[in-house]
Amino acid sequence: MKIEHSLRFVTEFKEGHPITMQVMALDENTRTVMLESLLKELVGSRLQPILDEINLNGSYAILKVAN
């Protein structure tokens, strides 16, 4: 059995910055997908050693990064 968790992160952009303006020009769904993809790429690989340590003694449950 698999249970997918939903962790919530917040990205804060600096007011008036050109990148902020570009991101705000995107529709909300595109912004969300883009930021979630970036977060997964940046954090996902760094989490693997931590997940391996957590899962080392996992006799009944294993924690993974969802695709």
Domain ranges of the chain: 18-55
Q: Which of 6, 4, 3 is nearest to 36 (CA)?
A: 6
Phi first, then psi, for residue 59 (nearest 5°) are -90, -20
Q: Residue 27's pLDDT is what?
A: 97
- 20 has pLDDT over 90: yes
Residue written as tokens 């007011």?
15
Give me the amino acid identity at 24: M
Report yes or no: 39 and 9 within 8 Å, Cβ to Cβ.
yes
CB atoms within 10 A of CB 15: 7
Q: Residue 44's pLDDT is what?
A: 81
pLDDT tens digits for range 31-45: 999 999 998 888 888
Helix (H) or strand (E) holding 28: helix 28-55
